[in-house]
Structure 1
Amino acid sequence: MADKIKFALALLLLAAGVAGFYLLAEQAMILRVLAVLAGVGLCTAVAWQTSPGQQFFGFAKEATVEAKKVVWPTRKETLQATGLVFAFVVLMAVFLWLTDKSLEWVLYDLILGWSKS
């Protein structure tokens, strides 16, 4: 039950930050943005104290560790893969165009006899 109350409080703090942005319409933009950032920061701090919040932040930490393990392709590999994709797209476009024109010729000229003049 306490987690639900903390989570509701976190949502209220977030809403207060967004409301502060609009209530400070006459103020400088930096103050308005700081109001939103304060709301997000307080929301995060309160949400961190809940059990689901702890699980989420643990998951986010593990996801960051896993993302660092990713081996990114080199520039050469990226350019080669991109070139293959473009070549395949061009080949498929030509193939589909030829198929379309062939079916058009078969249907309109041979079967229906509607030759173009």
Structure 2
Amino acid sequence: MIDKIKLVLALLLVVAGVAGFYLLSEQALVLRILAVLAGVIAGLAVVWTTPLGQSGFTFARESVAEARRVVWPSRKDTIQTTLAVFGLVVVMALFLWAVDIGFLWMVKVLMGRSA
């Protein structure tokens, strides 16, 4: 029950930060942005104290570590793959155009309107 209260409190802190952005409409933009950041940071600090928050931060940390281990394709591989996709799109477009023309011809023949 305490964890649910903490999550609601965190949400309220974020909402308070956003509300501060609008309430400080006459102030400098930097101050308004700092109000939002303060609300978000305070909300994250409260969420961090819950088991759900701990598991979420652990998941985020592991996701970043996994993204660093990814072997990204080289520029050459990316260009070759892109050209292959474009080539396949052109071939499929021509095939579908030919099928469409064939169906158009068959419908005209079946309806007795062939030339």
Confirm or deny a common fold (TM above 0.5).
Answer: yes
> 2:51 and 2:107 mapped to 1: Cα distance?
67
1:60-99, aligned counterparts within 5 Å? 60-99=60-99
Deviations 1:24-68 (A, max 9, x none): 111111111111111001101111011111111111111111111
Deviations 1:62-114 (A, max 9, x none): 11111111111000000000000000000000000011001111211x22122
* 1:112 equivalent in structure 2: 111
* 1:35 equivalent in structure 2: 35
Structure 1 segments unaligned to the other structure (5+ residues): none
- Number of corresponding residues: 115
Cα offset for 1:2?
A: 2.0
> 1:102 and 1:51 mapped to 2: Cα distance?
63
**Partner amino acid, structure 1, of 2:19:** A
**Partner amino acid, structure 2, of 1:70:** V
Deviation above 2 Å: which 4+ runs of structure 1? none
> 2:101 and 2:51 mapped to 1: Cα distance?
63
Structure 2 segments unaligned to the other structure (5+ residues): none
> 1:95 and 1:18 mapped to 2: Cα distance?
53
> 1:40 and 1:86 mapped to 2: Cα distance?
43
Identity %: 57
